[in-house]
Structure 1
Amino acid sequence: MDTETKMLKKPVYMDNHATTRVDSRVLDAMLPYFTEKFGNAASRNHSFGWEAEEAVSRSRDQIAALIGAKSKEIIFTSGATESDNLAIKGVVEFYKDKGNHIISCVTEHKAVLDSCRALERAGKATVTYLPVDKYGMVDPDAVRKAITDKTVLITIMWANNEIGTIHPIAEIGKIAKEKGIVFHTDAVQAIGKVPVDFEKAGVDLASITAHKIYGPKGIGALYVRSKGPRVRITPQMDGGGHERGMRSGTLNVPGIVGLGAACEIAGMEMPDEAQRLIQLRSQLQAGLFERLDEIYVNGHPTERLPGNLNVSFAYVEGESLLMGINDIAVSSGSACTSATLEPSYVIRALGIDDELAHSSIRFGLGRFNTLEEVDYVTDRVSREVKRLREMSPLYEMAKEGIDLKSVNWKS
């Protein structure tokens, strides 16, 4: 092992789809709003409140500039889970006289899926969950065919949090516009990683969070289109009428400042950062494929997030691999569902069997990862996979040319 690798700070963090480290520039922007600039943005009769309100307004501008929106279309929330709930439940309730049908996708984040299922259980909505192809992509024609005269909402994520696949959002947005249906996207993984323009893409509602783009946890936003057409939602929280009446509650000014700063930095650095992450991802992928056989990339080969690499290692149990590389922070699925030992529902939706789905690992490269870390992870993971396979009779049988699917296993 070379000197540079020995100098690495461990553990190595490669789980940037779960959360990111707060950028020091974001923290610097936030700090004054915890101490000397501590006013309530709703206090409009003194300078402390005005100062806070001005900071909130500036953050709206910063966010809007990154996503192709108007400042007044940014509604602050506690994060993407709340934004997803507010969008989905808010639309269904407001447009209930028009219909109650939702179109979504089987690989959506749990915040979307569970919101839809809650509405189904309450008898407030019926939901069509569209399948995906082998790359995890939704077919826009399937969206069109699923529309009924009762459809009030289409909710399809911009980019998948596990496999990194980017959906054809602009095509889906065009279909929604033609049919006069509200279109929501969970854009959490895409914002700051790839260019997004909600106006051009025909998006009506979009969920945003700070902690995926090197901002603080506990702050997010919902983009709500103001015209062409104006979108209406029923608030899910009452009290005070904050955020144009859509989301009551005292604004988290330090968090909002952090979200705005994170968006501004992402807007300036995204093109160069995306290229750097693609290079690191390519290096990691090439290194793993060079050293190991029977490994497979999950997700679209090109239409994917720059820092995402999801790989299945056949004949290796994912949890065992994670335990064996405990000085590397990676994931075997979504951070929001990692408490379960079930194989990832996203990977299974690609048509992959349970055994291979159980062996999938998500590498999430980010702003602070280095080439030295990629080399270390490549070496460490490869050695651990080989070690686990040495203990696997199934791998040995496969290498001997035995068709495991034809074996008649006796209990």
Structure 2
Amino acid sequence: MNQDTFFALADRLQAGLAGTEILFCNLGAEASDFVRLNRNRIRQAGHVRSAALGLNLIDGARQAEGRCDLTGDARQDLVRARHLLARLRERLVHVPDDPYLHYSTEASESHRQVGEAIPSAEETVAELIAAAEGLDLVGIWASGAIDEGLASSLGHRHWHQSLSFNLDWSCYLEADKAVKAGLGGFHWDTAALNHKLDALREGLRIMARPARTLDPGRYRAYLAPAAVNELTDMLAWGGFDLKSHRTHQTPLLLMTRGERRFDPRVTLREEHARGLAAGFTAEGFVKPDRVTLIEGGIFSQCLVDARDGKEYGETVNAASGSPESLGFDAGELPMAEVLARLDTGLYIGNLWYCNWSDPNDCRATGMTRFGTYWVENGEIVSPVKVMRFDDSLYHLLGDRLEGLTRERELILSAQTYDGRSTDSALLPGLLVSGINLAL
């Protein structure tokens, strides 16, 4: 469904409203190619084309929401949508007033496209298979267009389309010995693919060596952007949403009280203007281009969705309390100098199964798993057996932080629950003087 078809459908639905009824129409659609690979061969390939219409019928302080799938046939879709609207109207008379109902009453419009047409999945996957010859590559490719639309009887007209690809992959040596990588973005780059494959081949060469067993303790370490992504994902669990802050349940509570802070080089922003996610909310609010979450190691602003904005009297600046387009400011450490600056310690490529071990102290735990190596005198010498870390982010992003890389990596979410995710993060690597390994 394109923009004109969606707006025409919304206009016909809104023409049937009665009295003081208000209607918000939201469209979520995608045309995606998926290719699953195993042993560097295509094992499953398919194309998904889907569209779903969400309706929110409002009358006074009451609202009723529903959703239906669309077929692409204009007549059939209108019948489905009108049937859904009739069901919402029947339901609305039985629901109580919603004290946190909040929507934009100001008409607005926008049209935005992110990314450009990339080669077909057939071409890019064929290039990948040829370049990865000899590797036991396992992963999934996803690419295509994601469309989001909003139309309301109050005059909102918004359309957003993102074109992207994402390759989530691992290369296996044997059993559980593997190295992992990700490659995603808006523009296909053969040089970037070859650079990733070179790094994977080198990782597998090192993985073939006897693994080193470390005793529990604190070790100097470098965390690659993929590992940093796991830490920032932890912060998204209550770290930035307004309700968690107002109810004192945020893991950054000590920071907001002025008792703890991150290193002054740590600045995190929600970069709505950069990311794949739409620049508007389902309630009609236009997101600002950016929201500074942490600036110079000190907490700055919360993410405020519509309901929290109504409850606490704050301006809406996000669709939810979790970042969708996180940006972590770069530092001055060249990626090429990471091993030399690390000297002796851990190179941590990925972290897994992370959770809070003590949210009051912003302390997280997780596993190192794939792509963790022991470094001596600036050279990788051996893989490291899986270890559990347990440490506070006030240390890893605070008093033990030695450097942030100059280069950053764009990491796209590989989640496909309820459609391809539009979440992304632009992250540097971290050099820290110590990370605690528990077992």
Q: Between the two structures, name the one with larger relative contact order (CA 8 Å, sep ≥ 6).
A: 1
**TM-score bracket relative to the smaller structure:** under 0.3
Normalized against structure 2, the TM-score is what? 0.23
Structure richer in helix, relative to its length: 1
